[in-house]
Amino acid sequence: MGLLSLLNESRAQIWESWGWLPFALLLATPVTIYVAYYVVYNLYFHPLSKFPGPWYAVISDLFSSHTIISGHGHQTLKALHEKYGEVVRVGPDELSFSSGSAWKDVYAQRKNGTIFTKDHKFYITDNDFRAPHIVNNINVEEHAQAKKVLSHAFSPKSLLEQEDIVLKYADMLMVAIREESAKGPLNLNDCYNWVTFDVLGELAFGEPFGSVSARQTDEWISTILQMVVFIAWDSALYKLHPIFSDFYSYFIPPSIRKATANHVFQSKAKILSRLEKGERRDGRKDFCSYIFELRKEMGLNEWHMAAYSNSMIIAGSETTATVMSALTYYLCRTPAVYDKLKQEVRSRYMSSDEITSLSATFPYLTAVIHEILRIFPPIPFGMPRIVPPGGDTVDGIFIPGGTTVSVHTWSSAHSAENFKDPDSFIPERWLDPENTDNRDASNPFLLGPRACIGQNMAWMEMRILIAKMVFLFDYELVDEKLDWERDSPAFILWQKPELWTKVTPRDVQ
């Protein structure tokens, strides 16, 4: 009896310890079977299974989401294109292209009048906090309506008015740099942000942020890049499943959430303040004037108007500031280019007052801008689109309907298939008629109906700022170990490293 009791007692203990196991297995088995089926299907039976790509990228959206928030996703995709070719499967339903010919197929209007719409998993517009605007609105008709109204802000007449504003703040910046440089090296990132945001502040709200005059960055501006990081996280989580995005507070760093909330509410306050002021007394229309027209036509609420103004300021300021910072770095790192640009600019003017967007259309300066936009595009990622039902062709390849496609900006511009010595800063490639580079592979402003509506203004601003900076100052990097590409993580937009520069004013005015 003693032995039998011992056995019964042991069995009871085993059941207490392991009795749950069959039930756990019963629950886990369907999940395991589903996961195994999902993985095997995506690898071998999915309509996109014929396209090359790493196995870990095609079994789920984890890889694609990670590239958005890793900070080095642009480099990861470039490495994949170098390994697998000009079309790479980077998710279960997602393809990335890098060829020059794919740009028109993905972003331009098709011969039958259709376009590939924006991917709703990346461009999220499902509530007031994620309100649709000119950049992220996936509704083709609504975007066309908004673009029709807002394009007046970038008409030739408007550009002439805007040039006076750009020149005013550019000249104010030149004075600030001349005076501040006497105190020691300058972080030119700050200087470029001051001027571009002041310009856009006046163009959008009718008044600057006061950064150039105060020689410090406005608090609202300082939260912008953190908000862009939030957008990257939000898109990455939503891509996995919308429920993850709804609980973003558990995933996104608190500092990023706080900065984003502050920025959004301040944006709303700015748009309401501008709304209370009504029409400008001088009769000039700012961006808000056109946004208020949209309010009447499209029934925009306060959050929508704030989103429109916010998107236009970010698109028109941070991107230009990034280009200016990158160009300063590459000029200092490429003395032959810098010397050639100085010779061209300084031989044309007697005074910086002579510099305008019309006068600053020199061939080499234009080539320099093209090249910096290629080698360091303001947005290095691909902008995802959805292939319409029934499928369509991209780069001569039939793609099933519902597939997410994009041309990866960084990979396309840095591909040896498209450009000789793609990682070298060579403005001459844009001047030589015998050059065999595929210039169609560089589209920093996109193309087609969703191309940047403010690109002409961006070109005007860059021409003026570059010409004045090169005419008035000489530069030398303080940190010889600085590697701009290595030290610039990207979360949709770039997080720039500090650009400490020794600035030496020339004896000219």
% of residues, the chain, pLDDT over 90: 61
Is the separation of the CB atoms in 89 and 51 below 8 Å? yes
Backbone φ and ψ for 404, nearest 5 degrees, come out as -85, 125
Mean pLDDT over residues 10-36, rounded?
61
pLDDT (average), residues 413-435: 96
**Tokens 């000029």 sit at which residue?**
331
Count of residues making up the chain: 509
- Provide DSSP, 349-377: -SSGGG--TTT---HHHHHHHHHHHHHS-
Q: Is residue 398 predicted with pLDDT exceeding 90?
A: yes
Q: Tell me: pLDDT of 236 over 60.
A: yes
Going by C-alpha positions, the residue among 106, 68, 7, 84 that lies closest to residue 450 is 106
Alpha carbon distance 149, 297 (integer Å): 10
pTM of the model: 0.92
Partnered with residue 473 across adjacent β-strands are 505
Query: Is residue 477 within 8 Å of residue 133, measured between CB atoms?
Result: no
Q: For residues 200 and 457, is the Cβ–Cβ distance under 8 A?
A: no
Q: What's the confidence (pLDDT) of residue 14?
A: 46
Query: Hey, which bits of 326-478 come out as E strands?
Result: 385-386, 392-394, 397-399, 404-407, 473-477
| Average pLDDT, rounded, for the chain | 90
Quote the percentage of the chain above a pLDDT of 70.
Answer: 94
Instruction: Report whether 491 contacts 228 (CB < 8 A).
Output: yes
Residue 298 has pLDDT above 70, yes or no: yes
Which pLDDT score, from 0 to 100, does residue 15 have?
Answer: 45
What pLDDT does 227 receive?
86
Task: Report the C-alpha gap between 352 and 346 in whole angstroms.
Answer: 9
* Domains of the chain: residue spans and CATH: 2-44 (no CATH), 46-505 (1.10.630.10)
Output phi, psi for 455, to 5 deg.
-65, -30
Q: Quote the CA–CA distance of 444 and 473 in Å, as a whole number.
A: 28
332 is in an annotated binding site: no
- List beta partners, residue 491: 493
Q: Among 50-64, 116-130, 331-345, 379-393, which stretch is predicted with the lowest mean pLDDT?
A: 116-130
Among 396, 433, 395, 435, residue whose Cα is nearest residue 419: 435
Q: Do the beta carbons of residue 461 and residue 196 sit within 8 Å?
A: yes
Pairing relationship of beta strands 94-97 and 404-407 according to DSSP bridges: parallel
Phi-psi region of 487 (alpha: psi -120 to 50; beta: other; left: phi over 0): alpha
Q: How far apart are the first and last CA of the chain?
A: 110
- The predicted pLDDT at position 204 comes to 87
- In the predicted model, what is the mean pLDDT of residues 184-210? 93
Q: What is the pLDDT of residues 332-372, one digit of tens each?
A: 999 999 999 999 999 999 999 999 998 889 999 999 999 99
